Structure 1
Amino acid sequence: MAKNIINGPYLLDPRATQITVAWEAIVPQAFKVTARAADGTEYPGAVAYQREEKCQEYPQGACVYTAVIEGLEPATEYAYTITGDGEVAAASFTTLPEAPGHLHLLTLSDSHLFHNSAFFKKVVAQEAPEFILHGGDISFGTGYQHDQYQDNWFHKIPELLARVPAYYIHGNHDDGSFYDAFFTATQGRTVHTPDGGNTFSFDYGPAHFTLIDSNPWGLFEMNAVNSEMPLDRETRKRIDDTLKWIEEDLTSPAAKKAKWRILMMHHPYTDPFNNRYIVPIAERCKAQLVLGGHLHYYIKSVSVDPKVGARTVYICEGSAQDPEAEYTPAREEKRLFSEFPEVTAKGRSNYGILDVTEKAIDYRLYGFRQDGSPELVDTIHLTHDEPEITFTDIELRRLDNNGNVEVRALAENRGTSMAEAVIHLLDNKCEHAINLFGNEENSQVAVLEPGEKRKLTAVYQAVQPGEHTLRVGEAELKLVVFEPTQLSFAHMRVRAGQGEEADCMIAGIEATNNLDHEIFISVPLYINQRIAETKSLFFRGHEKRYIEFHYKFQQGGEYQVNIADQLPKEVSIEGGIRIIPRILDKSGHGHTALLHGSPKVREVDGRMEVALEQYGDYIEIPASRDLRAPQGFTGMVWAEIDRLARPSEMGHNPLMVRGKSVGWGATYCLRMVVERAGGLKWGICHDITEYSWQGGEAKIGDWAQYTMTFDKQRGGDSYCDGKQLAHVAGISDDSEIRQWDDQPIFVGYSYIGHVIPEIGRPKYFTHLPGRIGQVRFYKKGLTAEENEAIYRNPEAKGPEDEALAVWLDFRNILKVGTHTTEWRHPAIYDPAFKTQKKYWHFKQLKAKTHLPLQASLRATVEVSDDMATVKGSRQIVLKDGTNYVDISNLPEAQYLRIVTDFAAEVGPDGTFVPELLSYQVVAENERDFTDMFWSTRPDWERGCFTGAVGFPPVDRLRDYPEYTDVIHG
Structure 2
Amino acid sequence: MRARNQHLKRLLSLLLTVVMVFAMIPTAFAADTASGFVIGPYLLAPKTTSMVAVWETSGSGEPTTIRFGTDANALGDAVTVERDPEAPAYGGVQTNIYRYKFSELTPRTRYYYEVALANGETSRGTFRTLEENPTEIRYISITDTHKFDTKATFDAVVADYDPAFIIHGGDMVEGTGTQKEQYAFWFNSGEFIHNYPVVYACGNHDFSDYSDMYVIDTKTEEYGSAVAGNISFDYGNVHFDLMDSNPWALFQMNAETSGGKMDAAIADKIEKSVQWLGGDDLAKNQDKAFRILVMHHPISDPYTKMHIAPVAEAGHVDMMLAGHTHSYARAVSDQPPVGAGTIYLTHQDSRAVSAKGSYMTHTIKDGVLTTQNMENGGVVGTTVTAVDKQQLAYSNISIQSGPVPCNSEIEISATITNTGKGMAAAVIPVDDNGTIKYIYGDLESDSGLSTSGEPVRVSSNGVKTLEPGESIELSGTVTLTEIGKHTVKVADASKDIDVQFRPATFSYTNVRTKLGGGEVSDINSDILNIKADITNIGNEDGTATATLYVGDEATLSKQYALKAGEVKTCEFTYQFEQSGEFAVRIGDSAPETVYIEGSIQGMPMVVDQSGKGNNGYLHGAPTIGTDDKGNGTMTAANSSGTMTTQTRTLASRRASGCSTSAVSTARPAAIPTRTSTTAATLMHRHSIPRSRTGRAHPPTSASRTSAHC
Per the TM superposition, whether the score is higher than 0.5 is yes
CA drift at 1:436: 0.9
Q: 1:247 to 1:388 in 2, by over 3 A?
A: closer
SS in 2 for 1:173: coil
CA contact (8 A) 1:51 1:63 kept: no
Matches within 5 A, 1:304-703: 304-325=334-355, 348-357=356-365, 359-368=367-376, 374-385=377-388, 387-398=390-401, 401-402=404-405, 403-427=408-432, 429-438=433-442, 445-482=463-500, 483=502, 486-497=505-516, 502-555=525-578, 558-573=581-596, 576-577=599-600, 580=603
Which of the numbers 144, 162, 166 marks the counterpart of 2:178? 144
3-state DSSP class of the match of 1:194?
coil
Query: For the structure 1 residues 395 and 559, does the alpha-carbon distance in structure 2 shift closer, same or farther, using more than 3 Å as the test?
Result: closer
1:205 to 218, 233, 236: 236
Q: Which residue of 1 aligns with 2:249?
A: 218
Q: How does 1:18-97 map to 2 (within 5 A)?
A: 18-26=50-58, 27-38=60-71, 40-42=75-77, 44=79, 47-49=82-84, 58-60=91-93, 62-97=95-130
3-state SS of 1:172 partner: coil
User: 2-side partners of 1:286 and 1:70: how far apart?
Assistant: 34
**Greater per-residue strand proportion:** 1
Contact between 2:298 and 2:323, CA under 8 Å: does it hold in 1? yes
1:441–1:92 distance in 2 versus 1, CA, 3 Å: closer
CA 1:313–1:554 in 2, change beyond 3 Å: closer, same or farther? closer
Name the structure 2 match of 1:753: none
CA contact (8 A) 1:521 1:537 kept: yes
Q: Kindly indicate whether the alpha-carbon contact (under 8 Å) linking 1:849 and 1:879 is maintained by their aligned counterparts in 2.
A: no
Of 156, 162, 168, the residue aligned with 2:194 is 162
Aligned residues: 604
Q: Does 1:880 align with 2:653?
A: no
The alpha-carbon deviation at position 950 of structure 1 amounts to: 8.7
1:494: how far off? 2.0
Counterpart CA distance in 1 for 2:333 and 2:550 is 41
Give, in angstroms, the shift of residue 961 of structure 1.
7.3
- Structure 1 position 399, deviation (Å): 9.3
Listed as ranges, the matches of 1:915-934 within 5 Å are 933=674
Q: How far apart in 1 are the matches of 2:396 and 2:129?
A: 51
Is the alpha carbon distance of 1:909 and 1:960 closer, same or farther for their aligned partners in structure 2, counting shifts above 3 Å?
farther
Q: Measure, in 2, the Cα distance between the counterparts of 1:89 and 1:51.
A: 24
What's the offset of the Cα at 1:2?
7.6
AA of the residue aligned to 1:238: K
% same residue: 27
Deviations 1:507-555 (A, max 9, x none): 1112222123322121001123211111111112212222221223455
Larger radius of gyration: 2
Per-residue Cα deviation, 1:665-698 (whole angstroms, up to 9, x for no partner): xxxxxxxxxxxxxxxxxxxxxxxxxxxxxxxxxx
1:298 aligned partner, one-letter code:
Y
> Quick one: structure 1 residues 192 and 547, their matched pair in 2 at CA, closer, same or farther if it must change by over 3 Å?
same
State the match for 1:263 in structure 2: 293
Shift of 1:18: 1.6
Q: TM-score, normalised by structure 2?
A: 0.76
User: 1:138 offset after TM fit, Å?
Assistant: 1.6
Amino acid at match of 1:83: A
Q: Deviations over 1:746-801 (max 9, x none)?
A: xxxxxxxxxxxxxxxxxxxxxxxxxxxxxxxxxxxxxxxxxxxxxxxxxxxxxxxx
- Cα contact 2:63–2:80 (8 A) shared by 1: no
Question: Is 1:849 matched with 2:603?
Answer: no
Q: Secondary structure at the match of 2:400?
A: strand
Helix, strand or coil at the partner of 1:234 = helix
Q: In 1, distance between residues paired with 2:138 and 2:195?
A: 16
For the 8 Å contact 2:600–2:686, the answer to whether it is kept is yes
Equivalence for 2:159: 125
When you count helix as a share of all residues, which structure comes out higher? 2
Q: Aligned pair in 2 of structure 1 residues 205, 529: CA closer, same or farther (>3 Å)?
A: same
Note if contact 1:33-1:82 (Cα within 8 Å) is conserved in structure 2.
yes
Distance 2:125 2:385 in 1: 34
Q: Which amino acid aligns with 1:383?
A: A
Once the two structures are TM-superposed, the CA of residue 959 in structure 1 deviates from its matched residue by 9.8
Please identify, of 490-499 and 121-130, the stretch whose mean Cα deviation from structure 2 is larger. Answer: 490-499
Aligned match of 2:328: 298
Cα offset, 1:179, TM superposition: 2.1
Offset of 1:161 from its aligned partner?
A: 0.8
Provide the C-alpha distance between the structure 2 equivalents of 1:550 and 1:252, rounded to a whole number of angstroms.
52
Displacement of 1:450:
2.2
Cα–Cα, structure 1 residues 75 and 236, in superposed 2: closer, same or farther, change >3 Å?
same
Give TM-score, length-normalised by structure 1.
Answer: 0.56
User: Structure 1 residues 568, 425: closer, same or farther in 2, change over 3 A?
Assistant: closer
The verdict on how the C-alpha distance between 1:288 and 1:903 changes in structure 2, with shifts beyond 3 A counting, is: closer
What are the superposed Cα offsets for residues 189-219 of structure 1, whole Å, 9 maximum, x if unpaired? 32221245x1111111111111011111111
Distance 1:61 1:525, change over 3 A: farther
CA deviations 1:534-585 (Å, max 9, x no partner) are 1111112212222221223455555432211234333355764265499xxx
Q: 1:280 is paired with a residue of what secondary structure?
A: helix
- Note the alpha carbon deviations across 1:929-953, whole angstroms, 9 max, x for none: xxxx479xxxxxxxxx99x989799
Q: Tell me how far apart the structure 1 counterparts of residues 182 and 130 of structure 2 sit (CA, whole Å).
A: 34
Aligned partners of 1:851, 1:31: CA distance in 2, in Å?
83
On the 8 A contact 1:317/1:350 being kept in 2, the answer is yes
Matched residue type, 2:512: R
Distance 1:881 1:420, change over 3 A: closer
Flag the 1:289–1:420 CA change in 2: closer, same or farther, 3 A. Answer: same
Q: Which runs of 5+ in 2 are unaligned?
A: 1-32, 448-461, 606-613, 637-642, 654-659, 663-667, 677-681, 698-709
Alpha-carbon shift at residue 445 of structure 1 (Å)? 3.7
Which residue identity is paired with 2:531?
G
Cα offset for 1:474?
4.4
* Alpha-carbon offset, residue 61 of structure 1: 5.1
Encode CA deviations 1:121-179: one digit per residue, 9 max, x unaligned. Answer: 111121111211011122233223223322x323332x221111101111122223332
Partner of 1:191: 223
Give secondary structure in 2 for the equivalent of 1:189.
helix
Higher RCO, Cα 8 Å, sep 6+: 1
Is the alpha carbon distance of 1:3 and 1:510 closer, same or farther for their aligned partners in structure 2, counting shifts above 3 Å? Answer: farther
Q: C-alpha root-mean-square deviation of aligned residues, in Å?
A: 3.9
Q: 1:751-790 counterparts in 2 under 5 A?
A: none
SS at match of 1:458: strand
3-state SS, counterpart of residue 414 of structure 2? strand
Counterpart residue identity of residue 249, structure 2: G
Residue 260 to residue 362, structure 1, CA distance change in 2 (3 Å): same
Q: 1:16 to 1:229 in 2, by over 3 A?
A: same
Report the CA distance between 1:239 and its aligned residue. Answer: 0.9
Q: Relative to 1, partners in 2 of residues 1:249 and 1:101: Cα closer, same or farther, differing over 3 Å?
A: farther
CA contact (8 A) 1:422 1:433 kept: no
Higher mean Cα deviation, 498-507 or 403-412?
A: 498-507
Q: How does 1:864-875 map to 2 (within 5 A)?
A: none
What is the CA-CA distance between 1:13 and the residue it aligns to?
0.9
Q: Retained in 2: the 8 A contact 1:172–1:219?
A: yes
Q: Could you list the per-position Cα deviations for residues 489-509 of structure 1 after superposition, in whole angstroms to 9, with x for gaps in the alignment? A: 222122221689934211111
Task: Look up the equivalent residue of 1:213 and give its one-letter code.
Answer: D
